[in-house]
A and B are shown apart, each in its own frame.
Chain A
Amino acid sequence: MIPEDIENRARNGLATREDALKLLIENPFELFDLADRLRRESVGDDVTYVVNRNIYITNMCKGGCKFCSFNQRDGYILTIPQILERVKAAHEAGATEVCILGGFIPKLDLDFYLDIVKAIKKEYPNISIHGFSPMEISHAAGVCDISTERAFRKLKKAGLGTLTGTSAEILSERVRGMICPNKITTEEWIETIMTAHKADLVTNSTIMYGHIETWEEKIEHLLILRDIQQKTGKFTELVPMPFMPYNNIIGEKMMREGKYGPGGIEDLKLHAIARLLLNKHIPNIQASWVKLGKKLAQVALNCGANDLGGTLMEDQITLASGGKNGEYLPSGEMEWIIGEIGRRPVRRDTYYRECK
């Protein structure tokens, strides 16, 4: 049984690191059940999803992250007309959001990003643009010798709706030193994301887990996010992203040692612990069907999650690392998955507002 004081703290948004560690050694069903109740109390029985499309503007990246299967040395960068073509297809398929993703290319300056945003907004003023990583923008600002805050303000003014909360991975210097030594540090990530929030940009938040990090480090990561949220209130959601070990350096090394990616039980625990620690702070926990698979994503909806993510249409990154859950989940199947567990499917926009 879960001690009453832990349950009370969780209910009031005050669960501690020790509480989380304690629940991890409990019977997992107790943990899942608590997370499920907290989810119901905070967001009810609605399960949201967004009709969107990922657009990869490039497949190149100089980031050198050892967990990535997507970075090419020589690859493409989409031109603006090519990007607009993809936005058009998304728009015609009923998407309310395009998610613009790419790699870290040091030579790109802020104008590159501004031009993309402006061009999309000009043609499709009603589509939300979600995209870019905090690290990319902070770097592009540096190239142009302007402050990061100013860069975010310019992007917002140009029409960027929301920024992604990626490149967070695990916010621990020990872990980052091993999996992405060239990436911004924990301190820099926190500062950059808070700067974005200060520039009035809303972002999501992410955790990429299941590689070399410990549970303590995962919990610490979630508490850092909670801390930021208490100060800025500008995170819309948490997207847990299980690590996939195929075709990348970290994964190959793990597999040689007989270790693989996280099993479904760890995935469910992570979603439940996230609900526990973020309750009252970040209301939305996403079960990513691309990473978890459709079946397990539905189970995660009973273990703390309340959002199924996007219909997507393409997810090159997951595909490259051995994901095989498909690249497109039609609204009809989303609603089936949600309705089958007695919940109400709700189509949302990027800001978690119901689409009428």
Chain B
Amino acid sequence: MKNTIPDDIIQQAYEGNVTKKNALKLLEVPPLQLFSLADRLRKQAVGDDVTYVVNRNINFTDQCIGNCGFCAFRNQENYFLEKSDIIRKTKEAVELGATEVCIQGGLLEDANLEFYQDILSSIKANYPNIHIHAYSPMEVFHLAKKNGLSIESTIKKLKNSGLETMPGTAAEILSDRVREIICPGKLNTLQWENVITTAHRLGIATTATMMYGHVETKEERIDHILKIRDIQQKTAGFTEFVLLPFMPYNNPIGKKMIKEGKYATGGIEDLQFYALSRILLHTHIPNIQASWVKLGKKLAQVALACGANDVGGTLMEEKISSSAGAKNGENMEVSEIKWLVRTAGRKPVQRNTLYESIEAENDS
């Protein structure tokens, strides 16, 4: 394969300072070359290990006063889990070997900080060893506002109650033009940055995410990734970057797109952005997660050859809830993760939330 990527861009990639202009150029090179460059950088950064975390998502309510146009979850069943339900779910997760619970909910009209703290401290009182990864920047922002507190003291209180890390969700695309269209009620770019950097400053690491493939331009995606890089250079508080391709089915933004003849991003574009994320974040954020839920298991494996080095969580929720209609594709056994990693010629490694590897007792 002839390489047509200019040497100076490759040089910048290895040094971790590819510019926006060059990022746009990289989208013009034949995709296989881009993938191959990202794969080499991945190998240099993290080697051949592919990590996964055994965790359980607990979405304690779908009640939400938000108005995001891309959401297919809000107020569907109108459920609300009591603290005892959350503890029970945590217990099940612990018994199945989870090292993390990931707790998020909708935005409640009367969001009371004490309730959110109580969830954390009750889990910690019962299961001190499970890692609590919880509350999106939007939830924190909302809690601060509803309870008349600063972001800083809100996070401090949550941390004191047992919060260990936070998901870097609600980022969507960090562009106020885009946010105005898809999630006008959400915190804006600056506010998101503020919550995240405050958390980092207080010792709460977070993930970073990007939800792409709706109304944003490719330039806006690149700006988003570069903003994440900037923040990371200041705080070093991001553990990983998670790309979430937008699913245009069953939500208002998607319906409008489909009416205009636009659909979900194709696999090539997904892989281009996995690769580009690896390249732009090289030397800054070592972990790029391929979400098998969004990509499908097969394409997630391919993403591992295009810059990604993590396959995320086992999403135990679907495994535990024997709810009728759970499809095979929604559950990923650890053994299937290992199979996909090994058949990609890589080594599966169980990790915790902070990307420390966990030696499995009997690794088969």
Closest chain A residue to B345, Cβ basis:
A265
Instruction: Flag the segment in A153-161, A274-282, A331-339 that touches B.
Output: A331-339
> For A322, what are the chain B residues with a Cβ–Cβ distance below 8 Å?
327-329
User: Within the complex, what minimum Cβ distance (angstroms) separates B64 from chain A?
Assistant: 27
Determine whether A209 belongs to the interface, using a CB cutoff of 8 Å to chain B. Answer: no
Determine whether B271 belongs to the interface, using a CB cutoff of 8 Å to chain A. Answer: yes
Is A258 a contact of B32 with CB atoms below 8 Å? no
> For B32, what are the chain A residues with a Cβ–Cβ distance below 8 Å?
29, 32-33, 36, 302
Q: Which of A266, A333, A336 contacts B343 (CB 8 A)?
A: A266
Known: A29-B35, A264-B302. A297 touches B364 (CB 8 A): no
Known: A263-B298, A324-B327. A258 touches B269 (CB 8 A): no
Q: Which of A255, A295, A341 contacts B299 (CB 8 A)?
A: A295
Residues in A294-337 with C-beta less than 8 Å from chain B: 294-299, 302, 322, 324-325, 332-333, 336-337
Determine whether B301 belongs to the interface, using a CB cutoff of 8 Å to chain A. Answer: yes
Counting contact residues on chain B (CB < 8 A from A), the size range is 35 or more
Interface centre among B302, B305, B338, B344 (most CB of A within 10 A): B302
Determine whether B268 belongs to the interface, using a CB cutoff of 8 Å to chain A. Answer: yes
> For B328, what are the chain A residues with a Cβ–Cβ distance below 8 Å?
246, 322, 324
In the complex the two chains form, what is the Cα distance from A170 to B263 in whole Å? Answer: 35
Is A267 a contact of B1 with CB atoms below 8 Å? no
> For B329, what are the chain A residues with a Cβ–Cβ distance below 8 Å?
322, 324
In the complex the two chains form, what is the Cα distance from A188 to B31 in whole Å? Answer: 43
Is A296 a contact of B296 with CB atoms below 8 Å? yes
Determine whether B148 belongs to the interface, using a CB cutoff of 8 Å to chain A. Answer: no
In the complex the two chains form, what is the Cα distance from A259 to B343 in whole Å? Answer: 10
> For B302, what are the chain A residues with a Cβ–Cβ distance below 8 Å?
263-265, 268, 296, 299
Is A340 a contact of B266 with CB atoms below 8 Å? yes
Determine whether A293 belongs to the interface, using a CB cutoff of 8 Å to chain B. Answer: yes
Is B267 a contact of A296 with CB atoms below 8 Å? yes
In the complex the two chains form, what is the Cα distance from A147 to B327 in whole Å? Answer: 45
Is A296 a contact of B1 with CB atoms below 8 Å? no
Residues in A253-273 with C-beta less than 8 Å from chain B: 255, 258-260, 262-268
User: Within the complex, what minimum Cβ distance (angstroms) separates B183 from chain A?
Assistant: 24
User: Within the complex, what minimum Cβ distance (angstroms) separates A291 from chain B?
Assistant: 9
Is B339 a contact of A299 with CB atoms below 8 Å? no
Determine whether A216 belongs to the interface, using a CB cutoff of 8 Å to chain B. Answer: no
Offer 27 A-B interface pairs, CB within 8 angstroms, sorted by A.
A29-B35, A29-B305, A33-B30, A242-B298, A259-B339, A260-B336, A262-B298, A263-B302, A263-B343, A264-B299, A264-B302, A265-B344, A293-B298, A293-B299, A294-B264, A295-B264, A295-B296, A296-B296, A296-B298, A297-B267, A299-B268, A299-B299, A322-B327, A325-B296, A336-B262, A336-B263, A340-B265
Seed contacts A263-B298, A340-B266, A341-B266; 15 additional CB < 8 Å A-B pairs: A27-B36, A29-B33, A30-B1, A32-B32, A262-B298, A263-B301, A263-B343, A265-B344, A295-B267, A296-B298, A298-B266, A298-B267, A299-B299, A299-B302, A324-B327
Listed in ascending order, the chain B residues whose CB lies under 8 Å from chain A are: 1, 30-33, 35-36, 39, 261-271, 295-302, 305, 327-329, 335-336, 338-340, 343-344, 364
Q: What are the 8 closest A-B residue pairs judged by CB atoms, nearest first?
A: A295-B267, A264-B298, A263-B301, A264-B302, A298-B266, A299-B267, A322-B328, A33-B1
